[in-house]
Amino acid sequence: MALEDSSSSEEEEEDDDDFDTVLGMIFNDDVRRPRRASQFGRKYINRDRAEDHAKIMRDYFGPNPTYPKKYFHRCFRMHTSLFLTIAKPVERYDDWFKLQRNASGEITTSPLMKCIADVRVLAYGCSADAIDDYVRIGEDTISEAIRRFTKAVIAVFGPKYLRTPIEEDTQRLMTDSEARGWPGMLGSLDCMHWRWKNCPVSWKV
């Protein structure tokens, strides 16, 4: 089922943390000064969040992106339009995703980078520290982002897209399956209910 972006154009214009304007808003020289690590003994890594955000924009979301749309679909298991349809409501739902300053006065990671990290981890099932070299976000932040992202998706989209199918949904899905040559199939992941003449004897039902 394709997700629909229910937000109006007026709401998007009022969104101060819109992905397209994030760089020009708050990434200034005063927040790029060297910082100390937040914990004793931990080495501070200057990830230069402004440049990292700009790189992701150039790679996939700019007017002339470095990589074609099919690359985004291959890497993140969804189209860019679907990604934005999910990411923007998530940002509006949870203020943690919005741009803000942390306790040391440094600007936090952009909403785009947090959502990119979430979808990348969920798409590949990789560990939180496996994508730091691209999204430039620490393991702890990615883990927190994934936890909040999944909760936000359930809260925002659950009532419409994660609910139990009603009779109308079931009939539509059955009709679609029959048109594809799989009559009587609904939610089958292993094809156990499909007659297969070459099925091994041990699997015969």
139 and 128 Cβ atoms separated by less than 8 Å:
yes
Q: Tokens standing for 193?
A: 């209910």
Q: What DSSP line would sit under 70-127, residue for residue?
A: HHHHHHHSS-HHHHHHHHHHHHHH-GGGS--B-TTSPBPPPHHHHHHHHHHHHHHT--
157 and 3 Cβ atoms separated by less than 8 Å:
yes
Output 115 or 134, whichever has higher pLDDT: 115
- Sequence-separated (6 or more) residues with CB below 8 Å from residue 194: 182, 185, 188
Q: How does residue 204 score in pLDDT terms, banded at 50, 70 and 90?
A: low
Q: What is the pLDDT of residues 143-183, one digit of tens each?
A: 999 999 999 999 999 998 888 888 888 888 888 888 888 77
pTM exceeds 0.95, yes or no: no
Report how far Cα 33 is from the mean position of its chain's Cα atoms: 30
Q: How does residue 37 score in pLDDT terms, banded at 50, 70 and 90?
A: very low
The closest alpha carbon to 17, from 81, 80, 108, 104, belongs to 108
Report how far Cα 10 is from the mean position of its chain's Cα atoms: 23
Q: How does residue 205 score in pLDDT terms, banded at 50, 70 and 90?
A: low
pLDDT at 114 over 90: yes
Q: How does residue 115 score in pLDDT terms, banded at 50, 70 and 90?
A: very high
Interval 21-36 mean pLDDT: 48
Q: Categorise residue 10: left if φ over 0, alpha if ψ from -120 to 50, beta otherwise.
A: alpha
Q: Categorise residue 37: left if φ over 0, alpha if ψ from -120 to 50, beta otherwise.
A: beta
Output 182 or 138, whichever has higher pLDDT: 138
Running DSSP on this structure, what letter comes out for residue 58? I
Domain ranges of the chain: 9-161, 170-203
Running DSSP on this structure, what letter comes out for residue 132? H
Q: What is the pLDDT of residues 5-18, one digit of tens each?
A: 444 444 444 444 45
